[in-house]
Amino acid sequence: MSPTLDYDPHEFPPFAVTVDLVVFTIRDERLHVVLVERGSEPFAGRSALPGGFVRPDEGIDAAARRELAEETGLDLGRDAATLTQLATYGDPDRDPRMRVVSVAHVALVADLPDPRGGSDATAAELVPVDTALRRRLAFDHRRILRDGLDRVRDQLEYLSIATRFCPPEFTLGDLRAVYDAVWDVELDPANFRRKILASGIVTPVAGARATPSASGGRPAQRYRATSTALAPIEPPFRRPTA
């Protein structure tokens, strides 16, 4: 027999739980993020991260995937590695409607298709991250976006997350372009090659080479991630300082 719960839930203040998503991809050699245009108050017409309220009968990650699909048409599938929790945001005044606690997520996606607005989002778009950070985003979404960017920039130093931005087979030039875009730098190709190959996070694909460029020259070797799980980079690949 279950013990009697010795409390009245009505004695506690009500609050809601939401999810927000920071979805990054590389487009035209620049880091982009998915934004939506809010179709209703509060902040109607303002750019925001995709997200929404968690339903009583669903888990947090399931809510994040559902909200992204509804508001942008993007489907992350069921791969748990695609979506990771970033942080929880619960300042009392972050939402003017009521007390709302949001669980933010980060997703890193290769070759992300163009999003399309749906549900309560009148539009959806891929926006360069530096442009998005200059906008007046709804709620505390600028803070969430900044935190997501900082997380990815930090993890590039010690985890193989750069491969998440790449197709299954890629060149070292493709991988270096990820670092350049996320860190907003221009890394030396020779040093990058030496450090990445020494780390062991990539493995050459036998017999696979990229299509030669118009200028000719030997086709570049293609690689794949050594592990489908995130692997540590040893020694860490330090981000250049200004």
Tell me the pLDDT tens digit for each residue of 203-230.
999 876 666 655 556 788 999 999 989 9
Residues 47 and 96 placed together within one structural domain of the fold: yes
What pLDDT sits at residue 242?
66
Looking at this protein, which amino acid is placed at residue 129?
V
Contact 110, 164 (CB under 8 A): yes
Q: How many CB atoms lie within 10 A of CB 239?
A: 15
Mean pLDDT across 107-123: 94
Q: Is the pLDDT of residue 69 over 80?
A: yes
What pLDDT sits at residue 211?
65
The rounded mean pLDDT for the chain is 92
Mean pLDDT across 143-169: 97
For residue 236, being part of any structural domain is answered with no
Residue % of the chain over a pLDDT of 70: 92
Mean pLDDT across 29-34: 98
The rounded distance, in Å, linking the Cα atoms of 133 and 127 is 10
Q: Which domain holds residue 145?
A: 12-156
For residue 138, being part of any structural domain is answered with yes
Residues 43 and 126 placed together within one structural domain of the fold: yes
pTM of this structure: 0.91
For residue 79, being part of any structural domain is answered with yes
Mean pLDDT across 112-126: 95
> For position 210, which CATH number holds?
1.10.10.10
In which band, very low, low, confident or very high, does the pLDDT at 52 lie, cut at 50, 70 and 90? very high
What pLDDT sits at residue 217?
62
For residue 7, being part of any structural domain is answered with no
Q: Is the pLDDT of residue 48 over 80?
A: yes
Residues 65 and 184 placed together within one structural domain of the fold: no
For residue 124, being part of any structural domain is answered with yes
In which band, very low, low, confident or very high, does the pLDDT at 3 lie, cut at 50, 70 and 90? low
What pLDDT sits at residue 11?
83
What pLDDT sits at residue 80?
61
For residue 45, being part of any structural domain is answered with yes
Residues 132 and 190 placed together within one structural domain of the fold: no
Q: Is the pLDDT of residue 174 over 60?
A: yes
What pLDDT sits at residue 7?
79
The rounded distance, in Å, linking the Cα atoms of 169 and 110 is 11
Q: Is the pLDDT of residue 124 over 70?
A: yes
Residues 146 and 183 placed together within one structural domain of the fold: no
What pLDDT sits at residue 163?
97
Residues 150 and 178 placed together within one structural domain of the fold: no
